[in-house]
Amino acid sequence: MSKSYHVAIVGATGAVGIEMIRVLERRNFPVSKLTLLASARSAGKTLTFKGESIVVQELTENSFAGVDIALFSAGGGISKQYAPHAVAADAVVVDNSSAFRMDPNVPLVIPEINGADAAQHRGIIANPNCTTAVTLMALHPLHEAFGVTRVWASSYQAVSGTGAAAIIELEEQVKAIALGKKGTEIPRSVYPYQIAFNALPQVDSFLDDGYTREEMKMQYEGRRILHHQRFKASVTCVRVPVYRAHSVAISAEFERPVSLEKAYTALRQAPGLKVTDDPANQKYPMPIFTAGQDDCEVGRVRLDCALDNGLAFWVSGDQILKGAALNAVQIAELLV
């Protein structure tokens, strides 16, 4: 008989936590017992897994007795506080926050790219930033083919990346505007400006050099995942009025000569990636199609007219799935 595992989800009532439950079920992960953990405020709620109602328990330092794998998605502070207790209880932690991503002793893993790194864990494995994950799903096969040196990218990030309150705010703003309301009549509490029918060129806090923390993650996390310490990324992250799925426009420069034929071959062979690229018939990746889908999609692939040895392309992917819940479960699958 194949082994099954006691799995815990920390942050089970959040958007990513709920998606983790769904992914575990539909991928038929070998779960012998599922423990759902959240704050005291959420304790007592019930969630369903394989037809069974499971009561959410309050997260404490003693929550991990007998747990084999703990999937964390409750923020960096919670991860830093409770992940060591999970490890001490002999659980392996897969953490979705930024708490451990740059720790040299913690593997940062996208299974399709550097899954072998997971075997080097010391109790904790980190999930990458969602925009980094979506981008690298398309960039990695091109890097393997041509050797990437640097990229310029702009992200178009869905409001669900901020949380459930941001989705509600977008909905309420659209309704208010449709009723003719203006100015202070437009409800706003999550973002500093109206997000409906707008684009906000700020995702995360600003650093002294003018970039945001979110923008620098692609370079620093990309170096670890690609095993490429000279990789450079100049990124502008933008929040757009889309409910779910991030998209990224990328121009990439490479060491070796590029060709569209070789590029398409590399992209079509890449696991977890779908090529959707027929502009003549208006077929290209869009968040309305990638939302809810496991695979990322790449399209608008072309020789970059501003670079001597570059490619421009557009990639879209569900940041709650490949950017979070799905990637975490895929890492857990590597462990079993």
Give the DSSP per-residue string, 121-139: -SSEEEPPPHHHHHHHHHH
Q: Under a CB-based contact definition with an 8 Å cutoff, are residues 13 and 78 in contact?
A: no
Q: 111: part of which helix (H) or strand (E)? A: helix 111-114
Closest CA to 135 of 318, 316, 327: 316
Q: At what angle do helices 130-146 and 213-226 cross, to 10 degrees?
A: 40
Residue type, 197: F
Partners of 92 in beta bridges: 69
Catalytic-role residue among 130, 143, 237, 296? 130
What is the Cα–Cα distance from 305 to 302, expressed in whole angstroms?
A: 9
Closest-CA residue to 8 (of 124, 115, 77, 94): 94
The answer to whether residue 130 is catalytic is yes
Catalytic residue among 121, 140, 143, 246: 246
Give yes or no for a contact between 321 and 159, defined as CB atoms under 8 angstroms apart.
no
Catalytic: 237?
no
- How is residue 183 annotated by DSSP? G
Residue type, 261: E
The candidate with the shortest Cα–Cα distance to 297, out of 309, 281, 315, 279, is: 315
User: Which among 222, 224, 204, 217 is positioned nearest to 103, based on CA atoms?
Assistant: 224
Task: Tell me, rounded to whole angstroms, the distance of Cα 102 from its chain centroid.
Answer: 16
How far is the C-alpha of 8 from the C-alpha of 88, rounded, in Å? 15
Q: Which residues carry out catalysis?
A: 130, 246
